[in-house]
Structure 1
Amino acid sequence: MGQGHDHGDGHHHGPTLSPDAPESERRSKERAIAIAAGLTGAFMGAEVIGGLVSSSLALLADAGHMLTDFASLLLAWLAFRLSRRPADWKRNYGFDRFSVLAAFVNGLSLFAIAIWILVEAVQRLREPSEVLGGLMLWVAVAGLLVNIAAFWVLSRAEGDNLNVRAAALHVMGDLLGSVAAIVASLVIIWTGWTPIDPILSVLVVLLILRSAWSVLKESGHILLEGAPKGFDRRAISEDLAANVDGVARAHHLHAWSITQERPMASLEVDLEPGADHEVVRRAVKERVQHLSGVRHVTVEITGEMPSKA
């Protein structure tokens, strides 16, 4: 009985990059994350002060969202740094999974912030308080400009990393939250109707929860070793038996992801009598790669099926 393993095209440990990406490109993306984090963190403090002084819940809600943005960006940056560390005997895949764990933690923190904002909004609607619309307006406009700058920086850091995408969603939500705060401040200045502040803060909460659920769902799926998106092991097993010469049966097919960019698959193959082990192994790997897009495929030849003759 022949037996062996055939791995895919190798590992890569960059959170958004291909294995062959140059170091300069990695550092460029890491720098973009650091700039966005710096912009967000610096303005977050100013927005908290402005929200407290003006008594604006919308500003405080946006500042709470910016706090999660700042944490998300810091974790994304840290994931870039950690991903440089090579795998060792204790951590076979290095530190790539850290970025997924960070995204999951960011999603949970978004839910906590959202609950706090909702409680405060209900309290403000029951007991309205004075809001300084003028100060609120200037802080909100400044926040919008900062969020636009941060989103522009992130949009230039191309890639499909879950943690960076989560951070970009945070910033987009913040950008819309700043718009809501501007609208609330204008309504207060023109009409004096302060309930618009907690009402629009609830709108920010809905934006937060939408982003949070998306991040939690995808990161949780990866942490639970769920199959990569679009990977149907039943269909692939049937396809291999039908379309790859020498394959009698494909079984024990498993697929998972180390990170969003590092899907992997393994399977066992029973051969038809007389089939060449190496030829079939290469053909199976290429077929799985073609059907699923998974580059790292481990194929184990478990033996030959008995002849029907």
Structure 2
Amino acid sequence: MHHHHHHDHDQRTQNKKGLTIALAITAGIMLLEFFGGLLTNSLALLSDSGHMLSDTASLALSLVAMWFATRPASPSKSYGFYRFEILAALFNGLTLFVIAGFIVWEAVERLMSPPTVAGGSMMMIAAIGLIANLLSAWFLMKKGDVRDNVNLKSAYLHVLGDALGSVGAIVAGALMMAFSWYVADPVISVLVALLILRSAWGVLSQSIHILMEGTPVTIDQAEVKKTLGAIEGVRDVHDLHIWTITSGLDSLSCHLVVEDSRDSQTILQQAIRIIDEQFQIKHTTIQVETSDLQHPETEV
């Protein structure tokens, strides 16, 4: 148990480190592009710095959420502030939708009358942005847990969405310089927006599933019920609930009806051990009942 907590703590420290480095890189490039845009009078640079601003904000939000999550539980917040990370992920997912919407809207207007774009300078700026975003993404992947931590995943998707945008800008710039094909800019923008939307949907649905107290996707509730029911002396398993508090922290509660002649504490100990070993759930609340305990029907 202690070892698990230690591992969790290490992972959180790593997540924080990855986020901080990514935030520093993104904020630096944002300022560079903003002032560069003002100096060169380049709209592409200024709009990309706006893009970077949304990224900086989402990375900062994820970092704040992580700091909040480490705050201790209180009598009024008995689970602590872990859920703040999920709320941050939900918010980030929503902003990705808004950004994609803006890109599509702008692209449609540009398709009607494609403006002449300075392909060369656009490619140069996009290349700087791409290197920065790939660096940020690399640090997030190397240091953090972008696969299982919803909060970190949402920040990572923001950075990756920007990297895609930069790749799109480089390709569009090359096409415009080679063939004066100015429609490439909006067309590629729409493709990027669709890719962003696809990722954003994943983060949103995952966050909503957690906030709705959904069973963790990695755990089969029927399997848990069968495993508990197979313990010798257990007659029935009911009121079984499994939910996620935050990424990597699952909870379980249930009632076990045991045979009257059995030692309920032995069965309880066995059940807790099985849940921990087979399903990696550390936060378990089990109520042991005998045949003469009549529990009222619960709402859920």
- Aligned AA (1:105): F
Q: Does 1:240 align with 2:260?
A: no
Residue of 210, 221, 225 corresponding to 2:209: 221
SS at match of 1:215: helix
Matches of 2:71 and 2:128 in 1, distance apart? Answer: 38
Q: Does 1:92 align with 2:43?
A: no
Q: Does 1:270 align with 2:257?
A: yes
Matches of 2:223 and 2:134 in 1, distance apart? Answer: 44
SS at match of 1:265: strand
Matches of 2:52 and 2:291 in 1, distance apart? Answer: 59
Change beyond 3 A, Cα 1:205–1:18: farther
Q: 1:41-68, CA deviations, whole angstroms, 9 ceiling, x for partnerless residues? A: 23234446649944449x83x5555344
Q: Does 1:41 align with 2:27?
A: yes
- Aligned AA (1:244): I
Q: CA deviation at 1:83?
A: 2.4
Q: Does 1:134 align with 2:120?
A: yes
Change beyond 3 A, Cα 1:186–1:22: same
Q: CA deviation at 1:212?
A: 0.7
Q: Which has the higher contact order (CA 8 A, sep 6+)?
A: 1
Matches of 1:70 and 1:271 in 2, distance apart? Answer: 55
Matches of 1:26 and 1:284 in 2, distance apart? Answer: 29
Identity, % of aligned positions = 39
Q: RMSD of aligned C-alpha atoms?
A: 2.6
What does 1:133-212 align with in structure 2 at a 5 Å threshold? 133-159=119-145, 160-212=148-200
Q: CA deviation at 1:271?
A: 0.6
Q: CA deviation at 1:281?
A: 0.5
2:17/2:143 contact within 8 Å kept: no
Query: What is aligned with 2:66?
Result: 80
Q: CA deviation at 1:293?
A: 2.4
Query: What is aligned with 1:281?
Result: 268
Query: What is aligned with 2:297?
Result: none
Aligned residue pairs: how many?
289
SS at match of 2:76: coil
- Aligned AA (1:287): I
Q: 1:38-95, CA deviations, whole angstroms, 9 ceiling, x for partnerless residues? A: 21123234446649944449x83x5555344322211221122222321111111111
Matches of 1:143 and 1:107 in 2, distance apart? Answer: 22
Change beyond 3 A, Cα 1:155–1:50: same
Q: Does 1:252 align with 2:252?
A: no
Q: 1:69-127, CA deviations, whole angstroms, 9 ceiling, x for partnerless residues? A: 32221122112222232111111111111110000001111111111111110100102
Change beyond 3 A, Cα 1:284–1:22: closer
Which ranges of structure 2 fall in alignment gaps of 5 or more residues? Answer: 294-300
Q: CA deviation at 1:283?
A: 1.2
SS at match of 1:217: helix
Change beyond 3 A, Cα 1:155–1:256: same
Q: CA deviation at 1:301?
A: 0.7
Matches of 2:73 and 2:269 in 1, distance apart? Answer: 26
Query: What is aligned with 1:302?
Result: 289
1:188/1:196 contact within 8 Å kept: yes
SS at match of 1:304: coil
Matches of 1:169 and 1:55 in 2, distance apart? Answer: 25
Matches of 1:274 and 1:24 in 2, distance apart? Answer: 45
- Aligned AA (1:154): L
Which ranges of structure 1 fall in alignment gaps of 5 or more residues? Answer: 1-8, 11-16
Matches of 1:35 and 1:286 in 2, distance apart? Answer: 39
Change beyond 3 A, Cα 1:130–1:170: same
Q: CA deviation at 1:34?
A: 1.4
Residue of 96, 109, 113 corresponding to 1:110: 96
Q: Does 1:32 align with 2:45?
A: no
Matches of 1:180 and 1:214 in 2, distance apart? Answer: 22
